[in-house]
Amino acid sequence: MKVAVATDDKVNISHHFGRTLGFRVFDIDSKKIVNEEYRQNIGKSNGQCGSCDHSSMINNIKDCDLVICYGMGMGIYNDLVRNKIRAVITEEETVDGAINKLIEADLINRLDKLH
């Protein structure tokens, strides 16, 4: 499984998918991280509503099965689903905390936080 986690500082989970600076991308196999890389968020928002380029953002992580973020809009969520990328909206604050909970099948998906 390949997982992208939205982050601005490589430590904490970004509060908004469209504004995140990048993604820590993990390859997970048999409950172990086998590879990790960082990718800048191509197409991120400039702060104006609707200014992010969903196609560019999705193409950047299209090889991922799952994306984890603290929050995102319904538009990008639907675009991710259409591209067969599962989105998890979490209350976890750190990337490592979310990945560890995901590996242990204990990561709660708060889809009610979509806006």
Report domain extents, the chain: 2-113
Report percent pLDDT > 70 for the chain. 91
Amino acid identity, residue 42?
A: I
The 10s digit of each residue's pLDDT in 31-71 is: 999 999 999 988 665 555 555 677 888 999 999 999 999 99
What's the chain's average pLDDT? 91
What does the pLDDT average to over 14-19?
87
Q: Does domain 2-113 have CATH number 3.30.420.130?
A: yes
Q: How far, in Å, CA of 81 to CA of 59, rounded?
A: 13
Tokens of 97: 């905390």
Q: How far, in Å, CA of 53 to CA of 95, rounded?
A: 24
pTM of the model: 0.91
pLDDT value for 90: 96
pLDDT value for 44: 61
